[in-house]
Amino acid sequence: MDSKTSCDVIIIGAGVSGISAAKVLAENGVEDLIILEASDRIGGRIRKQDFGGVSVELGAGWIAGVGGKQANPVWELANKTGLRTCFSDYSNARYNIYDRSGKIFPSGVAADSYKKAVESAIQRLRSEEANCNSADMAMNFDFDQISTPKTPIELAIDFILHDFEMAEVEPISTYTDFGEGEFLVADERGYEHLLYKMAETFLFTSEGQILENRLQLNKVVRELQHSRSGVAVTTEDGCIYEANYAILSVSIGVLQSDLISFEPPLPRWKTEAIDKCDVIVYTKIFLKFPHKFWPCGPGKEFFIYAHERRGYYTFWQHMENVYPGSNILVVTLTNGESKRIEAQSDQETLKEAMEVLRNMFGPDIPNAIDILVPRWWNNRFQRGSYSNYPIISNSQAFDSIRAPVGRVFFTGEHTSERFNGYVHGGYLSGIDTSQALLEEIRKEKEKERINETHSFLLEPYLALTLSQTDTVAGLHKCEVPRQVFLSRKMGIPEAIL
């Protein structure tokens, strides 16, 4: 490959949003495109890995929002490609709460704590809303009625509610639009199979491999220059790619980091919107055992550990429903706990997890024979798991996050107002961004056509005027200043020069 390559559109990132954006462009005649992906694979936060004899999903695992009036487009893709999935029912998790001595809390106690936690979560949401809406509302709000979780069971339920079920503004569009069902992907080809199927429609593939130089792997974009006339992208290995437009699909965590520099820098309204969005770190730790020692009957797939430290190895799942006989447990950690375990060795994490399991199931259980700890926070191409907008956010936040800056368009799950944080959010945002770009291309072509028509009509008149000017050339010499010409050619605002 030359060190300088030109095309119509550069797409940065080959996650679900980058691939869906590229597909829409290709289907609409913009085939001269290049996808630059920093890692050695497509998929981004959709990623499988072989572990303990089966395929596990390190990133997205569930297709969330199934069974409603509208079809979830990702669910439709999964059905079309025959992806194997398994229904998940979290509702019983609250009846499988273990204390530190291995006793399961009686269902009445669990149900009471759950009810109390839901009420206080609703109060907390209302208080945030009151704070945001007006000083009057905030003054009249009775903040004392919000109880703070204190006991291990309250802390565990609070963690489940906030870090899983209610981390978003109610009502949650995913469930209201697409339905309440959630299906866990359990397919040896992985969730990422959907992306290969999508890529196959516009990139040349053979035996499941994408063999096209319009997809460039191991290309870490470090600089994005943009002007009125185009974009130039420089990768870590020194290659330069030029195009009319760029679509940037990197995660919100990457946008908040300094991996990519912009020239000229992004405007303040954009950087402020990027910085305001929170990044959730969500880590699934996989543990393989020589045999199972946990209950596996109906309603037992998910279980909870109540500890005085919030989020300490709280949420567990066994994989017997999806892969019978796999003897694998998954424990989910978030945010501070995720960052803490990312910083320590896997052996230390294994020791902690085993201590928790021995508290729940007794001292005689076997040691895990393998552990897998994904590190989404320390991955410089991710810097976290997904976006989380403040509970009370207005459309302005999303408008700013997704608005293009000149010829640079933004896409990815974080730009989806209704479905941020989800695979379908990424998928739909890629489609929306490409449609906005196609509209921009159409407008630009229309402008060019009008300009051409004008200059064609004006030509005879200009010829006449010029010949007249020639005769007085010595009297009124009128030159376009050099920097103005440069600025028009480069598309740089004149004020900068």
Ligand X SMILES: Cc1cc2nc3c(=O)[nH]c(=O)nc-3n(C[C@H](O)[C@H](O)[C@H](O)COP(=O)(O)OP(=O)(O)OC[C@H]3O[C@@H](n4cnc5c(N)ncnc54)[C@H](O)[C@@H]3O)c2cc1C
Binding site for FAD: residue ranges? 17, 37-38, 221
Listed ranges 14-22, 164-172, 333-341, 441-449: which one lies at the site for ligand X (CB under 6 A) = 14-22
Q: What are 486's two structure tokens?
A: 């440069």
Instruction: Give the nearer residue to ligand X in terms of CB position, either 137 or 239.
Output: 239
Regarding 163 and contact with ligand X (CB under 6 A), the answer is no
Number of residues that bind ligand X (CB under 6 A): 41
Q: Which is nearer to ligand X, 198 or 260 (CB)?
A: 260
Amino acid at 414: H
Q: Applying CB under 6 A, does 288 fall inside the site for ligand X?
A: no
> Within 13 Å, how many C-alpha atoms sit on residue 143's CB side?
8
The structure tokens listed for 39 are 């890692």
Task: Identify which range of 10-18, 286-294, 477-485, 489-497 contacts ligand X by CB under 6 A.
Answer: 10-18
| Residue 76 or 459 with smaller CB distance to ligand X | 76
**12: contact with ligand X by CB under 6 A:** yes
Count of beta carbons in the 10 Å neighbourhood of residue 464: 10
Burial class (CB in 10 A: 0-12, 13-18, 19+), 318: buried
Q: Single out the segment in contact with ligand X by CB under 6 A; choices: 100-108, 207-215, 245-253, 457-465.
A: 245-253
Q: Is residue 171 reached through a cis peptide bond, with omega within 30 degrees of 0 on the bond before it?
A: yes
CA distance 84 to 188: 9
**Nearest distance from C-beta of residue 482 to ligand X, angstroms:** 36
Q: In the complex with ligand X, which residue's Cβ is closer, 146 or 217?
A: 217
Instruction: Provide the minimum distance between the beta carbon of 38 and ligand X in the complex, in angstroms, as a whole number.
Output: 3
Answer for the pair 164, 64: CB distance below 8 angstroms, yes or no. Answer: no
- At residue 130, φ and ψ (nearest 5 deg) are -60, -45
Residue 323 contacts ligand X per CB under 6 A: no
Q: What angle do CA 240, 241, 247 make, to 5 degrees?
A: 130
Q: Which stretch binds ligand X (CB under 6 A): 55-63, 388-396, 458-466, 474-482?
A: 55-63
State which residue, 59 or 190, has the beta carbon closest to ligand X. 59
β-partners of residue 4 are 240
* Binding status of residue 59 toward ligand X by CB under 6 A: yes
Neighbours of 246 (CB within 10 A): 29
What are the residues whose beta carbons fall under 8 Å from the beta carbon of 231, sequence distance 6 or more? 10, 224, 225, 242, 243, 244, 245, 246, 407, 408
Rounded alpha-carbon distances, angstroms, from residue 443 to 20, 175, 300, 371, 436: 22, 36, 57, 54, 11
Residue 37 engages ligand X in binding (rule: CB under 6 A): yes
DSSP state of 161: I
- Contact between 250 and ligand X by CB under 6 A: the answer reads yes
Other beta carbons within 10 angstroms of residue 24's beta carbon come to 19
What's the number of CA atoms in the CB half-sphere (13 Å) around residue 440? 21
Question: Which of 149, 152, 179, 426 is close enough to bind ligand X by CB under 6 A?
Answer: 426
Q: Dihedral (C-alpha) 38, 42, 48, 50: value to the nearest 10 degrees?
A: -80
Note whether 280 binds ligand X by CB under 6 A. no
Candidate list 10, 25, 33, 60; residue touching ligand X; CB under 6 A? 60
* Nearer to ligand X among residue 46 and residue 203 (C-beta): 46
CB of 435 to ligand X, least distance (A): 16
- Angle, CA 443 vertex, CA 442 and CA 449 arms, to 5°: 90
Helix (H, G, I), strand (E, B) or coil at 367: coil
434 interacts with ligand X by CB under 6 A: no
- Let me know: does 25 contact 440? Beta carbons within 8 Å: no
Min separation Cβ 365 and ligand X, Å: 26
Nearer to ligand X, 127 or 271 (CB): 271
185: enclosing H helix or E strand:
strand 181-185
Quick one: which of 85, 385, 400, 434 contacts ligand X (CB under 6 A)? Answer: 385
Structure tokens at 281: 């770190």
CA distance 188 to 459: 66
- Under the binding rule (CB under 6 A), the answer on residue 190 touching ligand X is no
* 71's tokens: 């079809």
Q: Which residue lies nearer to ligand X by CB, 117 or 233?
A: 233
Judged by CB under 6 A, the chain residues 197 through 226 that form the site for ligand X are 220-221
Residue holding tokens 């220059």?
225
Residue numbering of the annotated binding site: 17, 37-38, 221
When the beta carbons of 192 and 320 are compared against ligand X, the nearer one is: 192
Residue 319 Cβ, how far from ligand X at the closest point, in Å? 15
Nearest residue to 352 via CA among 403, 300, 279, 287: 287
Contact with ligand X (CB under 6 A): which of 224, 246, 255, 260?
260
Selected from 172, 194, 254, 353, the binder of ligand X by CB under 6 A is 254
194 belongs to the binding site for ligand X (CB under 6 A): no
The pattern of x and - marking residues 339 through 378 that bind ligand X according to CB under 6 A reads: -------------------------------------x--
The residue ranges that bind ligand X (CB under 6 A) are 12-18, 36-39, 44-46, 59-62, 64, 220-221, 249-251, 254, 259-260, 282, 284, 376, 381-382, 385-386, 412-413, 421-423, 425-426
